[in-house]
Amino acid sequence: MHQTKNDLAKKNREKVIETLNARLADAIDLKTQAKQAHWNVKGPHFIGLHELFDQVATAVEAHTDLIAERVTALGGTAMGTARVAARESSLSEYPLEIIDGTAHVDALSTAMADFGKKVRKGIDDTDKLGDADTADLFTEVSREIDKLLWFVEAHIQA
């Protein structure tokens, strides 16, 4: 831990940083899963899905920056390399063999829902540790992921 004058107790900051770094790994993984779908989708709804998957990747990338910067603001080290993300992500492996748009919608929405669930748990966990700022950050991420999940799932809900 780096020195900081942040008044959150060190033991609480350590736990919050651990939670943030766990979600950082997941967010990096989710971004690459969205790009995998973006690059490889085929089918009659190609352009709409291609653009939507890129929108998801862009939004998640912005969230990785928020999460990583919060880690460092609390005196931690953001663990954000591709190798760390691959080792630490709690998301399921994305199926690399799929190309069909519906299959990508299903796979990506599953990953997004799992990420959203873990982010919501982070809201509660960090709030209990007295870190309303991180809970608020996770609330912002959760709100955006839920909206994007709605956009993605809408393609298989009719």
Q: How far is CA 79 from CA 18, 46, 54, 65, 124, in A?
A: 10, 34, 24, 12, 22
Nearest partner of 118 among 78, 67, 56, judged by Cα: 67
- Predicted confidence at residue 158, as pLDDT, reads 73
- Angle at CA 88, nearest 5°, toward 85 and 90? 105
pTM to 2 decimal places: 0.96
Is the Cβ–Cβ distance between 115 and 91 less than 8 Å? yes
Q: How far is CA 118 from CA 5, 112, 145, in A?
A: 29, 10, 11
Question: Using CA atoms in the order 109, 114, 125, 60, what is the torsion angle rounded to 10 degrees?
Answer: -40
| CATH of range 10-156; options 1.10.150.120, 2.120.10.80, 1.20.1260.10, 3.30.230.10 | 1.20.1260.10
SS3 155: helix
- How do the pLDDT tens digits run along the chain, 158 residues long? 898 989 999 999 999 999 999 999 999 999 999 999 999 999 989 999 999 999 999 999 999 999 999 999 999 999 999 999 999 999 999 999 999 999 999 999 999 999 999 999 999 999 999 999 999 999 999 999 999 999 999 998 87
